[in-house]
Amino acid sequence: MPSRSLLNIANILTGLRILAIPLVVLLFFLPYSWSHMAAGLMFAAAGITDSLDGYYARKYGLITPLGAFLDPVADKLIVAVALVLIVHDNHAWWMTVTAAVIIGREIAISALREWMAEIGARRKVAVSSIGKFKTIFQIVGLSMLLYREDIWFIPIYPLGVALTVLAAVLTLWSMAAYLRAAWPDLTSQGESA
């Protein structure tokens, strides 16, 4: 029988992702030449835990209410913090718009999922394959934007910009898909309170 303990590998990985948030911020602002690279690597490592915690939770039956709550919170917090850090250093209008699109979508879809769960229709807005690709592009792109330095001949920052902008496009696409799936419930007259 799988352990339903709160202290399981999936919840520990989620907790580590939350603990990585202040470390990413600290590393980002350290006055050393390597600080941005370290922040990018820490963010990338945290992104890897996002895949691993879900994998372990499903494979070994370690899904707990606490983990189901903390996992999306951890994801959204670390992505929002990374975007704020990136916009802090890159004041270009398109970077601000990209960050606003990604953060705004996360807030809107979180609210939609909460409401759909309340009416018993949560499965209609379950994570889609577009959402999974968005997450991959987002984590890799943001890691590169935090890291900044080229690796050999690979232009890390421009590649990170391209991946993050692509993630923002996929963010809007997946949001449209979720809203389309929820639209009948959103527009139904229902019973008034």
Cβ atoms of 154 and 87 within 8 Å: the answer is: no
> Closest Cα partner for 22 from 43, 44, 53, 49?
43
pLDDT digits (tens, 9 = 90+) for 99-138: 999 999 999 988 888 888 888 877 777 777 888 889 999 9
Predicted local confidence at residue 4, as pLDDT: 58
User: Residue 107 has which token pair?
Assistant: 């807030």
State residue 2's pLDDT score: 47
Long-range contacts of 55-60 (CB under 8 A, 24+ apart): 56/8, 56/9, 56/10, 56/13, 57/8, 57/10, 60/2, 60/3, 60/8, 60/9, 60/10
Structure tokens at 63: 């899904």
The pLDDT value given to residue 130: 84
pLDDT at residue 191, rounded to an integer: 53
Spans of the chain, pLDDT less than 50? 1-3, 192-193
- Give residue 100's pLDDT: 96
Name the one residue in this structure whose structure tokens are 């997450």: 135
Q: Domain 9-182 belongs to what architecture?
A: Up-down Bundle (1.20)
Strands (E), the chain: none
Q: What is the pLDDT of residue 144?
A: 97
Task: Give the single-character DSSP code of 8.
Answer: S
% of the chain residues with pLDDT over 90 = 55
What CA–CA distance (Å, rounded) separates 51 from 105? 21
